Chains A and B, each alone.
Chain A
Amino acid sequence: MAATTAAPAIRVRSVQWGRALRLGLPLIPVLLLVIVAVFGPAWVPYDPERIVAPPYRAPGGEHWFGTDSNGMDIFSRTLAATRLNVVVATITALAATLGGMVLGLTIGMGESASGVWGVLFRGIARILDLFEAVPAVVIALVVVAFSGTSIPSLVLVLSIVLMSTQARLVRTEVLAVRNEAFVDAARMTGQSEAGLTIRHVLPHSAMPAMENAPVVFGQAVILTASLGFLGVGLPPPTPEWGAMIAQGAADAAVGRWWPATFPSIALILAVVIVAFLIPRLLRGRRGRSQG
């Protein structure tokens, strides 16, 4: 008897360890990314914005990733760019999600109103749809022409462009939740529209947008890089993956692969880590993840 009860306990523990490992494993790259983003610029071997060597040194020796067309160390710049790209993308994801939630809530709740307000809200909903109609890059280009190219204005541009998806997600949920019984019940108990919106509608409609936030992060990284690639990003020589890849593209065409390759890898890793692993982490709690 004792033998049979002891064995299952050990097996359960190993299963628990296995589960912990599976849950924890995705955590490691995420933590690494955060650490690099926060401490990277302090750990770089060379100043990422200063010329430190002759240009076009191949990777190896003192410069692990080589030097670029100006003579700056690519390893330092790639690492330093992490902070900028990640921070910008994180703030954008947050702003776009929050803004999208506010927008989606207001529109969703206001759409059914009668009279001028109703028309107004329905119109705004349509305009949001129209926003999806023009390629994000072009909208971003036009807005950058307004706001210039500094970090705050970049975040602003990206948030505006990416907010519409979040708003639409929230709005769809709001339209569905709005008619649930508990909302009517809350109304009948005398709650104000605003109050019941925040207390009852919001919690039930926020989920899709929040689940989409890591994707927005990825989109923000890519959009930043695209703008940098098109030459309208942050002022040179700010280390930013897109601008580095753009500079490296011309080199790649003539056989110098290293200025473009390393920032590309860093970019893809960052996007995969956030857009892929974080949702996995969150879903891991719920058991087997679904494709």
Chain B
Amino acid sequence: MTDVRVSPTLDAEGRRLDGSGRGAALGHWWGLNRWWITRIAVLPVHILVFAVIAFFLVRAVPGDPVLTILGGSVQYTQEDYDRVQQALGLNGTIGEQLGRYLWQTVQLDLGTSLYTGRSVAGELAQRIPETLELALIALVATVAVALAAAAVVVLRPRSWFARLLRLYSRMAGAVPQFILAVAFIFVFYATLHWVPAPIGRTDPKTPPIETVTGFPLLDALLTGNLEAFGSTVAHLVLPVVVMVLATTDLLLKILIASLEKAIDAPPTLFRAATGASRGTLLLSAYRRALPPMVTMSGVVFGHLLGGAVILEALFGLGAMGGYALEAVNTKDMVALQGFLLVSAVISLILFLVVDLVNMALDPRRRPGVHVGDA
């Protein structure tokens, strides 16, 4: 229940009712904007906490990375062992290593991979936009499909199509992405040859995409490389379709439920009673149904990022997902902790954006307004 706190001298935003007080203007500004400032300010703290967690989590994994490296060549001596350990920066106490790690992280240096010797931050910086682009495209497509499908279900509830969609929405999460991916590769590539081979983002013959922003499709457009653009679209069709099919049901379920609720809500009924057109009614219902959907979109986006781990392997898109898999397989502690940190940051920023959007849409959700605590 949202109760607005009642106080004899302060108003709902904490300002003095009689408008007096030192820094009243500043306090006023603070009161209005507190909700997003605090949310953003708290973000670095969360990131730091997660960085420490990632450090310990990864180090607690059994196995000795020095041996991993030495074991690859069948013969080595104790001297070799010590030298490799030093070269990898794994010497010193845990405290020293933690200190070094945190200091470097603050400077945006995530260390060098134990396995490849390349900068972790550099590689992630290159791979993140690729995965993000894929997930964003899938998200946009998913949202579009969900919005359209929800419209059908709500407007024509008894049609067979609507019933099919309802059934589909209830299957939320029942079909894992990898099964869909395998099936689609089998049907659409191996059998029908409708899509190009899952050999990466572009056909090897197309001119390479120059990096401008790091987002492949965007860069292709920006540099006028239409051949590569088309090739990338063609290669992304199947993975995007898989992702959309696998996650639309989640969104659809929420959307249908909140749409139905919104349609029955008093404001909508009032509008209907005062003669608004069906189109206007629908739009206003959609607006009311938005917040839960925005939140769910955040979850869906996280879902899509997670699904990328497997899908990228299957379609040869080798970005973030491929990096994580390789780091786990090679027990590359530095790469793994960098990956964990970066994905946490992405998700945290995502939650932040979702929260901010929701709070912007619906002032009742802002933290300055008092909620329920007696």
Binding site for B on A (CB under 8 A): 112, 123, 126-127, 129-130, 132-138, 141-142, 145-146, 176, 179, 215, 218-219, 222, 225-226, 229-230, 232, 245, 248-249, 252-255, 257, 260, 264, 267-268, 271-272, 275-276, 290-291
B373 to chain A, nearest CB (A): 7
Provided the pairs A133-B344, A179-B374, A222-B173 are in contact, do residues A145 and B63 lie with their beta carbons within 8 angstroms? yes
Which residue of chain A has the shortest Cβ distance to B336 in the bound complex?
A: A142
By the criterion CB–CB under 8 Å, are B190 and A133 in contact? no
How distant is the Cα of A254 from the Cα of B182 in the complex, in angstroms? Answer: 12
Binding site for A on B (CB under 8 A): 46, 49-50, 53, 57-58, 60-63, 166, 169-176, 178-179, 182-183, 185-186, 189-191, 253, 256-257, 260, 302, 305-310, 313-314, 324-325, 328, 331, 336, 339-340, 343-344, 346-348, 351, 372-374
Provided the pairs A133-B348, A138-B309 are in contact, do residues A291 and B253 lie with their beta carbons within 8 angstroms? yes
Q: How many A-B residue pairs have CB under 8 A?
A: 135
**B328 / chain A contacts, CB cutoff of 8 Å:** 138, 141-142, 145, 232
Given A137-B310, A291-B170, A291-B257, 10 more pairs with CB closer than 8 A:
A112-B373, A130-B344, A134-B344, A135-B309, A179-B373, A229-B178, A230-B309, A230-B325, A245-B179, A253-B190
**A146 / chain B contacts, CB cutoff of 8 Å:** 60-62
Residue among A127, A138, A264 making CB contact with B343, cutoff 8 Å: A138
How distant is the Cα of A133 from the Cα of B53 in the complex, in angstroms? Answer: 13
By the criterion CB–CB under 8 Å, are A252 and B185 in contact? yes
By the criterion CB–CB under 8 Å, are A133 and B174 in contact? no
How distant is the Cα of A264 from the Cα of B178 in the complex, in angstroms? Answer: 10
By the criterion CB–CB under 8 Å, are B372 and A179 in contact? yes
Provided the pairs A226-B176, A252-B185 are in contact, do residues A133 and B60 lie with their beta carbons within 8 angstroms? no
**A126 / chain B contacts, CB cutoff of 8 Å:** 46, 49
How distant is the Cα of A130 from the Cα of B344 in the complex, in angstroms? Answer: 7
B300 to chain A, nearest CB (A): 13
**B172 / chain A contacts, CB cutoff of 8 Å:** 215, 275
B9 to chain A, nearest CB (A): 25
By the criterion CB–CB under 8 Å, are A135 and B302 in contact? yes
Residue among A132, A215, A291 making CB contact with B173, cutoff 8 Å: A215
How distant is the Cα of A263 from the Cα of B88 in the complex, in angstroms? Answer: 44
Which residue of chain A has the shortest Cβ distance to B349 in the bound complex?
A: A133
A229 to chain B, nearest CB (A): 5
**B260 / chain A contacts, CB cutoff of 8 Å:** 291
By the criterion CB–CB under 8 Å, are B309 and A137 in contact? yes
**A267 / chain B contacts, CB cutoff of 8 Å:** 176, 179
User: What are the 5 tightest A-B residue pairs by CB atom distance, in nearest-first order?
Assistant: A135-B306, A133-B347, A252-B186, A222-B176, A133-B344
**A291 / chain B contacts, CB cutoff of 8 Å:** 166, 169-170, 253, 256-257, 260
How distant is the Cα of A138 from the Cα of B314 in the complex, in angstroms? Answer: 16
**B183 / chain A contacts, CB cutoff of 8 Å:** 252, 260, 264
How distant is the Cα of A136 from the Cα of B328 in the complex, in angstroms? Answer: 14
How distant is the Cα of A290 from the Cα of B166 in the complex, in angstroms? Answer: 10
Residue among A129, A142, A225, A245 making CB contact with B57, cutoff 8 Å: A142
